[in-house]
Amino acid sequence: MTAPVLEAVDVTKHFPVRGLVKRGAGRVVHAVDNVSLKLYSGRITALVGESGSGKSTLARLLAQLYPLTSGEIRLHGNPVQATKGKAFREHVSKVQLILQDPFASFNPVASIASTLRRAVSIHHAGKGGDEQLAVIDDLLTQTNLAPPRQFTQKFPHELSGGQLQRVSIARALAASPEVFLADEPVSSLDVSIRLGILNLLRRLTEERDVAMLYVTHDIASARYFAADTAVMYAGEIVETGPSETVTQQAAHPYTQLLISSAPDPSRTDVKRVKDIGQPPSLISPPSGCRFHPRCPFAMARCREEKPPPFELADGHTARCWLYADNPEPAASERPDAQ
């Protein structure tokens, strides 16, 4: 495979705990801990996990919306530190976030035309008047909002959720980005229109050779939509690999739990794992493997030592001691890895 476009390398984000209680002072929420992830041109990577597992935080770190606690974000192999000013604007022009709720991401009193004109004037400086309008028409047509003039004079509340999400994709396209970070892009939409939006995102990824991170709760949609899947639990990535392998031969007990709690109707051989609890506190996460308090296979070692990612097959890794005797630790964990 070619080099990644955007990469998180051993990235950690801790948020300070704020509160009235003095005991909270100095304590942190371990939202993302030592996570590495690579995004490739023309390829969709799904990031799957329960609520609070750190998916949005990781997407925001990739977008440079927060400073990192430690680790590095690399664009084309070069470290980026661009949380403000010109460097941030340059990063945003290459890496665009698409959020879950389109109504929350638009100015309710600005027409679609004026919102898009703003994006076009930022990313296509020098274009004015008719040229700007032509770009806007083209963006709306590409996102299947045709005829475009039927939408430009409207305000956000005059569009359906699906139409507005298409406008937010059009706005992201105005930057001609190299990376889309789509944070649950269809979760707030009616089930009947989700597929249309996902198909649009997939087409744009392929046609424009864009790298895409697809954040979702729904592991079944990851199989259909994304080439690769990374599973996140309590701030850590616990399994990665081709989506087909991760969903059909899930190795980590947490992935198995996710699959059995959101069954794919086309499967008959799902290994059932009983749900035995809730996600842990991220202020004082469990020792060793963070999943051990919920894991039906937990051993003494799991309580004490954090498992490295073990490579099970080409590109398929699981951070689980069940695979310790199996193969070598994954390449990224070997001492010679950079």
Ligand X SMILES: Nc1ncnc2c1ncn2[C@@H]1O[C@H](COP(=O)(O)OP(=O)(O)OP(=O)(O)O)[C@@H](O)[C@H]1O
Residue ranges binding ligand X (CB under 6 A) = 15, 29, 31, 49, 51-57, 217, 282
Nearer Cβ to ligand X (24/296): 24
User: Could you tell which of ligand X, Mg ion, none binds residue 49, using a CB distance below 5 to 8 A set by kind?
Assistant: ligand X
Nearer Cβ to ligand X (56/255): 56
Stretch that binds Mg ion, among 52-60, 143-151, 156-164, 203-211 (CB under 5 A): 52-60
Burial class (CB in 10 A: 0-12, 13-18, 19+), 69: middle
Report the amino acid identity of residue 36: S
Nearer Cβ to Mg ion (12/248): 12
Give me the least distance between CB of 42 and Mg ion, in Å please: 25
Nearer Cβ to ligand X (135/257): 257
Give me the least distance between CB of 183 and ligand X, in Å please: 7
Cα separations in angstroms, 234 against 27, 128, 147, 156: 17, 48, 45, 35
Give me the least distance between CB of 56 and Mg ion, in Å please: 3
Stretch that binds Mg ion, among 51-59, 237-245, 301-309, 313-321 (CB under 5 A): 51-59
Q: Is 56 in the site for Mg ion (CB under 5 A)?
A: yes
Stretch that binds Mg ion, among 56-64, 120-128, 187-195, 281-289 (CB under 5 A): 56-64
User: Could you tell which of Mg ion, ligand X, none binds residue 51, using a CB distance below 5 to 8 A set by kind?
Assistant: ligand X
How far is Cα 309 from Cα 271, in angstroms, rounded to an integer?
A: 22
Contact between 298 and 292 (Cβ < 8 Å): yes
Give me the least distance between CB of 183 and Mg ion, in Å please: 6
Give me the least distance between CB of 278 and ligand X, in Å please: 12
Nearer Cβ to ligand X (15/88): 15
Cis peptide before 147 (omega within 30 of 0): yes
Cα separations in angstroms, 255 against 75, 173, 212, 226: 29, 33, 21, 16
Contact between 31 and 93 (Cβ < 8 Å): no
H or E, element range at 231: strand 228-233
Determine the 3-state secondary structure of 158 from DSSP: helix
